[in-house]
Amino acid sequence: MMRDFPSCFGENGVQVADSSSSSSTKAAQNLVTCVYQCKLHGHSCLITVIWTKNLMGQGLSVAIDDATNQCLCKVEIKPWLFSKRKGSKNLEIDSNKLDINWDLSCARFGSGPEPLEGYYLSVAYNKELVLLLGDLKKEAYRKIESAPVNSNAIFIAKKEHIFGKKLYGAKAQFCDKGQMHDVTIECDTIDVKDPCLVIRIDSKTVMQIKRLRWKFRGNHTVLVDGLPVEVFWDVHNWLFGNAMGNAVFMFQTCLSAEKLWASQSIFDPSVLTWSSSQRFRDYQLQGLGFSLLLYAWKNE
């Protein structure tokens, strides 16, 4: 599951506008992937948390990769209906103790697989808190016998599947510990000769693309919280593909975004890619970059 979400730090740019079979597409639609930059005993690592949902219930997986993209460990908590809502996994990495604890017994979920509140998920390394998600922080600290301290984790990337007929919505935090924003994508492609793409942040229009049949792929910079956010879009499947096709949107924040895009070959107009440049990686390590990847599916 870790490899389903391309690392920003790979050796090559990674295509994210791909095609899938009907069965794998349906499975992919029921997961949300989040990537965090963390430190294990002073060394940088990536922790990928995948929230899943199917007919058997909710599930999740946690994978830890080191700075060279080598997988250090992976834990899968399979979907549940009446069990496994609370538990722990104890592992060893290089003779050091890794504890993963979770409690979702009182979690509240929306339409997607990611819990909204009433839960915690923690990762501790030798009793030192590495990652803590959720609002039940006191319970998490008590479980790992740790004093209330903030983890050093930085939220750097998220992949999500969203659904609609004309309007598609998601929530995004464009900088670590920043304000939560409502992202709305509006595009009517049914019986419209000249579709228009409109993107709003907190109900404010930040981008409008007309003549979409000629501009079905592209990128544009907007400002959110005073930071430049580069928006990439690929709506080819909506306009020219089959009914099962999806559009892809990526929102990427970083310092001096325009200069970065101008100096690095990050965007290939035929596919959406993430850069592997050292400069880009430096921005991410400083907690100054965030990637939100949205797959937008039309409801049947």
- What string of DSSP letters covers 31-91? EEEEEEEEEETTEEEEEEEEEEEETTEEEEEEEEEETTS-EEEEEEEEEESSS-SEEEEEE
Q: Which two tokens stand for residue 154?
A: 């930085």
Contacts of residue 286, defined as CB under 8 A and 6 or more positions apart, other chains included, come to none
Q: What is the pLDDT of residue 160?
A: 92
Q: What is the pLDDT of residue 167?
A: 92
CA angle (97, 3, 65) in 5-degree steps: 30
Strand-pair category, 246-253 with 227-234? antiparallel
Q: Which two tokens stand for residue 109?
A: 């979920």
Q: What is the pLDDT of residue 298?
A: 85
Strand-pair category, 43-54 with 167-173? unpaired
Write down the domain spans for the chain: 2-152, 163-298
Q: Are the C-beta atoms of 129 and 146 separated by less than 8 Å?
A: yes
Q: Could you tell me the CA-to-CA distances from 24 to 8, 18, 20, 216 in Å, in that order?
A: 23, 12, 6, 25
84-87: long-range pairs with CB below 8 Å, 24+: 85/58
Contacts of residue 147, defined as CB under 8 A and 6 or more positions apart, other chains included, come to 141
What span, in angstroms and rounded, lies between the C-alpha atoms of 29 and 250? Answer: 17
Q: What is the pLDDT of residue 43?
A: 84
Q: Which two tokens stand for residue 190?
A: 């049914």
- Residues in the chain with pLDDT values less than 50: 1-24, 256-287
CA 170 to the chain's CA centroid: 11
The β-bridge partners of 141 are none
* 218-276 per-position pLDDT tens digit: 999 998 887 889 999 999 999 887 767 789 999 988 654 444 444 333 333 333 433 33
248 burial class (0-12, 13-18, 19+ CB within 10 angstroms)? buried
The β-bridge partners of 296 are 162, 247
What span, in angstroms and rounded, lies between the C-alpha atoms of 33 and 73? Answer: 17
